[in-house]
């Protein structure tokens, strides 16, 4: 009786060991298959991330190049406008026509600058846009003051129905005195008086951002 029982137990444990061995092998195969699948999945995710990153870098590079081109154009126009503003306020020629011409040049260069910053606005960062808006507000105030000056000069011509300065002023010395006085009044205008500082400030803002882009 004891022998059959022992044989049964031995067969049971033998079958259990065999089953356990197969189960362990199956688990190992499942784990190995999962690890292989996970490695493939992660590899594909990494590859996709690399491709997305590369596309983003290309897009950013293009956008950055567009910004650099826009800043270059804006800076060129600021410099032109800076020279024009300086020539107006520091004139060495004191004639009726020269003052009209310098005011006209100021308006032309100023309009070009305002038009340019509005066209390139979508490429500019918020802080630079704010600096441009602040500067544009000052420019419009100055433009209003210069328009008054031009109208005053033209009204003298209209009143006498001539643009002959000899008739308008009587003699060259009186013309010089009159134009110098007008320039003194223009330089006493708060916005015009500080215009060089205002232009310098916006120039520095563009220079700073440009340096950050090309670093």
Domains of the chain: 63-214 (1.20.120)
Mean pLDDT of 185-192: 96
What per-residue confidence (pLDDT) applies to 22?
A: 63
Mean pLDDT of 131-155: 96
Residue 202 has pLDDT above 50, yes or no: yes
Q: What is the CA radius of gyration of the chain?
A: 40
What per-residue confidence (pLDDT) applies to 187?
A: 95
Task: Show the tokens assigned to 2.
Answer: 């004891």
Task: Show the tokens assigned to 72.
Answer: 């270059």
Backbone angles phi, psi at 157, to 5 degrees: -65, -45
Q: Which residues neighbour 88 within 8 Å (Cβ) at sequence distance 6 or greater?
A: 102, 103, 105, 106, 186
**E strand map for 30-98:** none
- What is the Cα–Cα distance from 186 to 17, expressed in whole angstroms? 105
Nearest to 91 by CA among 181, 211, 30: 181
* Residue whose structure tokens are 């500019």: 124
Mean pLDDT of 47-72: 67
Residue 113 has pLDDT above 70, yes or no: yes
Count of H-run helices and E-run strands, the chain: 7, 0
Length of the chain (residues): 215
- What is the Cα–Cα distance from 177 to 184, expressed in whole angstroms? 11
More confident residue, 109 or 213: 109
Mean pLDDT of 67-74: 93
Question: Cα 4 to chain center, whole Å?
Answer: 93
């Amino acid at each position: 009786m004891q022998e059959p029982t022992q044989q049964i137990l031995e067969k049971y444990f033998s079958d259990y060991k065999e089953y356990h061995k197969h189960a362990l092998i199956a688990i190992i195969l499942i784990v190995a298959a999962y690890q292989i699948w996970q490695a493939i999945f992660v590899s594909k995710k990494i590859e996709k991330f690399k491709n997305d990153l590369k596309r983003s870098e290309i897009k950013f590079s293009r956008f950055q190049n567009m910004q650099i081109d826009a800043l270059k154009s804006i800076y060129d126009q600021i410099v032109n406008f800076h020279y024009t503003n300086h020539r107006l306020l520091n004139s060495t020629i004191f004639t009726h026509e020269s003052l009209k011409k310098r005011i006209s040049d100021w308006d032309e260069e100023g309009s070009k600058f305002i038009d340019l910053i509005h066209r390139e606005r979508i490429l500019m960062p918020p802080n630079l846009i704010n600096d441009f808006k602040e500067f544009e507000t000052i420019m419009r105030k100055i433009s209003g003051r210069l328009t008054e000056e031009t109208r005053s000069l033209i009204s003298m011509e209209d009143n006498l129905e001539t643009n002959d300065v000899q008739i308008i002023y009587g003699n060259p010395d009186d013309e010089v005195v009159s134009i110098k006085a007008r320039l003194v009044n223009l330089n006493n205008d708060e916005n015009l008086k500080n215009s060089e500082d205002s232009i310098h400030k916006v120039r520095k803002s563009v220079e700073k951002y440009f340096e950050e882009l090309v670093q």
